[in-house]
Amino acid sequence: DVQMTQSPSSLSASVGDRVTITCRAGQSISTYLNWYQQKAGEAPKLLISAASNFQSGVPSRFSGSASGTDFTLTISSLQPEDFATYYCQQSYYNPYTFGQGTKLEIK
């Protein structure tokens, strides 16, 4: 299975901060990389697919990028509702695999 390594595993930040979460694939996955947000007690929500295409309704402060096997999720200006856990997922090789998650907490 393709290993996905996310960093950091946790992050403390303040409202208004710019934050970046990184995901590295263990092998080439083209741009078949998706980002999810999960709040406590809720199902995950798809934010970005194919590395940089955001889903309808997702605020424009979220963006994604790719460089080789490295992928980043950037939140340009944190809002209170953004504090959650974020997961990357590769969807190039079955079974699809997730990163271990990044918990974004309020500083």
Partner 1 sequence: EVLLVESGGGLVQPGGSLRLSCAASGFTLSSSWMSWVRQAPGKGLQCVANIKQDGTVKYYADSVKGRFTISRDNTKNSLYLEMNSLRADDTAVYYCARDRGGSGDFGSDYWGQGTLVTVSA
Binding residues for partner 1, rule: CB under 8 A, are: 1, 32, 34, 36, 38, 43-46, 49-50, 55, 87, 89, 91-92, 94-101
Cα–Cα distance measured from residue 76 to residue 46, given in angstroms and rounded to the nearest whole number: 18
- Contacting residues for 73 by C-beta, under 8 A, at least 6 apart: 20, 21, 23, 35, 47, 48, 62, 63, 64, 86, 88
- Contacting residues for 25 by C-beta, under 8 A, at least 6 apart: 2, 3, 4, 33, 69, 70, 71, 90
CB of 17 to partner 1, least distance (A): 24
Of residues 17 and 91, the one with the C-beta less far from partner 1: 91
CB of 92 to partner 1, least distance (A): 7
CB of 101 to partner 1, least distance (A): 5
In which element (H, E) is residue 24 found? strand 19-25
Of residues 74 and 96, the one with the C-beta less far from partner 1: 96
Of residues 78 and 99, the one with the C-beta less far from partner 1: 99
CB of 79 to partner 1, least distance (A): 22
